[in-house]
């Protein structure tokens, strides 16, 4: 790979003092370094060499075609993040992956589709572009989300902006609908909120070395904010109990309502993470 390296599982991109690695399992970005500091959280509980079809806990998992619970015998957060994607190309700071329907996916969701996912690395920016093609003769509905684990030095010291006045479902209180009154959000307890129709840009301050991470999204109207805090984290076998202070999930998605895609049409979901 010009400007990087690739082995069977992981593609690494390097440019202008930045580096990103993407695992073919789920086309999951598992590392993004700016100024030689890691900006994404990856749980130490992961065993990347023996995933056996389980999802990677951390980085930027791609959630498709369903966010959260999908009913019995269907993988939580959809099948994209537990599928092995094909590497189409990787050069000059950009890696392109593809996932098409298979008998496995059709077993969960009986539609034909093609996903084309590109990850582009610039000196202080990481861009994720997902294009969803409906290659079937009938329309289908889906949800899509980037389950981004932002690495932070202490989740109690960050702020998140752009949510004041928005409706949100509070999953920690049985999906209770509320209106956000805070213009600057601090995470001070178990948080699992689904904000509807949020602005294109959200700033997460004081992540690493006091730096702000700017999240820009298009085709992804909603934002999920999640941190399990000290008790709930113990219910996750793929997280270590002390890791709750090391990350906040700011998840750009289209999850409050479904997207209907007509035959032959495609949908684009883009997220850009940049270090200010
Ligand atoms: O996006 C937030 C969430 O839905 C939480 O409710 C929690 O389930 C989290 O995702 C982790 O899910 P995972 O399947 O990655 O363990």
pLDDT in tens, 14-53: 998 999 999 999 999 999 999 999 999 999 999 999 988 8
Distance 94 CA to ligand 1 centre (A): 28
| Token code pair at residue 83 | 């599928």
Task: Using most ligand atoms within 8 A of CB, pick from 70, 149, 175, 226 the residue to mutate for ligand 1.
Answer: 226
Distance 149 CA to ligand 1 centre (A): 11
Distance 174 CA to ligand 1 centre (A): 15
Tell me, what's the ipTM? 0.96
Distance 131 CA to ligand 1 centre (A): 23
Whether residue 3 has pLDDT greater than 90: no
Q: Closest ligand 1 atom to the C-alpha of 251?
A: 1
Q: Distance between CA atoms of 115 and 139, rounded to whole angstroms? A: 16
pLDDT for position 6: 77
Distance 102 CA to ligand 1 centre (A): 25
Residues 193, 161 contacting (CB under 8 angstroms): no
Name the nearest CA neighbour of 198 among 227, 171, 162, 170: 162
How far is CA 222 from each of CA 20, 82, 254, rounded to the nearest angstrom? 25, 23, 6
Distance 148 CA to ligand 1 centre (A): 11
User: Is the Cα dihedral 38, 254, 78, 122 positive or negative?
Assistant: negative
DSSP letter, residue 56: P
Whether residue 5 has pLDDT greater than 90: no
Distance 191 CA to ligand 1 centre (A): 11
Strand, helix or coil for residue 241: helix
Using one digit for the tens of pLDDT, what is the confidence trace for 222-273? Answer: 999 999 999 999 999 999 999 999 999 999 999 999 999 999 999 999 999 9
Q: Distance between CA atoms of 135 and 144, rounded to whole angstroms? A: 17
Using one digit for the tens of pLDDT, what is the confidence trace for 170-202? Answer: 999 999 999 999 999 999 999 999 999 999 999
Confidence of residue 70 (pLDDT cuts 50, 70, 90): very high
Cα angle, residue 171 at apex, residues 166 and 175 outer, rounded to 5°: 70
Confidence of residue 59 (pLDDT cuts 50, 70, 90): very high
Q: DSSP readout, 153-215?
A: S-GGG-EEES-TT-EEEEGGGTTEEEE---SEE---S-EEEEE-S--SEEEEESSSTTPPEEE
- Name residues contacting ligand 1 (CB within 6 A): 68, 76-77, 147, 171, 192, 224, 226, 236, 249, 251
| Across 141-156, average pLDDT | 98
Whether residue 2 has pLDDT greater than 80: no
Whether residue 4 has pLDDT greater than 80: no
Neighbours of 263 (CB within 10 A): 12
Instruction: Give nearest CA residue, ligand 1 atom 2.
Output: 226
Q: Closest ligand 1 atom to the C-alpha of 145?
A: 1
Whether residue 8 has pLDDT greater than 90: no
Q: Closest ligand 1 atom to the C-alpha of 224?
A: 1
How far is CA 255 from each of CA 37, 224, 227, 252, rounded to the nearest angstrom? 31, 9, 18, 9
Whether residue 153 has pLDDT greater than 90: yes
pLDDT for position 116: 98
Confidence of residue 163 (pLDDT cuts 50, 70, 90): very high
Residues 13, 20 contacting (CB under 8 angstroms): yes
Q: Closest ligand 1 atom to the C-alpha of 76?
A: 14
Calculate the average pLDDT of the chain: 96
| Across 146-169, average pLDDT | 97
Q: Is the pTM of this model over 0.90?
A: yes
Q: Closest ligand 1 atom to the C-alpha of 238?
A: 16
> Nearest 5°: phi and psi at 106?
-65, -25
Q: Distance between CA atoms of 70 and 58, rounded to whole angstroms? A: 20
Percent of the chain residues past pLDDT 90, beyond the cut = 95
Query: Cis link prior to 160 (omega < 30° from 0)?
Result: no
């Amino acid at each position: 790979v010009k400007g990087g390296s690739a082995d069977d599982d992981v593609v690494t991109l390097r440019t202008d003092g930045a580096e990103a690695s993407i695992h073919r399992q789920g086309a999951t970005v598992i590392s993004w370094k700016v100024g030689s500091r890691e900006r994404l959280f990856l749980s130490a509980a992961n065993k990347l060499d023996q995933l056996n079809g389980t999802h990677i806990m951390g980085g930027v998992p791609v959630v498709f075609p369903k966010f959260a619970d999908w009913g019995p015998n269907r993988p939580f957060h959809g099948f994209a993040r537990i599928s092995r994607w094909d590497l189409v190309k990787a050069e000059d700071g950009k890696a392109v992956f593809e996932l098409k329907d298979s008998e496995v996916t059709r077993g969960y969701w009986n539609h034909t589709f093609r996903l084309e996912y590109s990850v582009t690395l610039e000196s202080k920016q990481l861009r994720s572009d997902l294009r969803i093609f409906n290659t079937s003769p009938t329309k289908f509905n889906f949800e899509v989300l980037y389950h981004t684990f932002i690495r932070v030095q202490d989740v109690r010291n960050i702020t998140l902006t752009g949510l004041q006045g928005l409706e949100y479902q509070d999953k920690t209180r049985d999906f209770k609908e509320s209106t956000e009154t805070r213009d600057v959000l601090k995470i001070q307890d178990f948080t699992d909120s689904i904000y509807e129709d949020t602005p294109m840009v959200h700033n997460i301050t004081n992540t690493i070395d006091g730096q702000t991470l700017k999240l820009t999204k298009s085709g992804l109207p909603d934002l999920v904010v999640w941190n399990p805090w000290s008790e709930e984290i113990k219910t996750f076998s793929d997280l270590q109990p002390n890791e709750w202070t090391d990350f906040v999930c700011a998840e750009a998605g289209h999850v409050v309502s479904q997207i209907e895609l007509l035959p032959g049409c495609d949908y684009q979901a883009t997220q850009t993470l940049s270090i200010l």
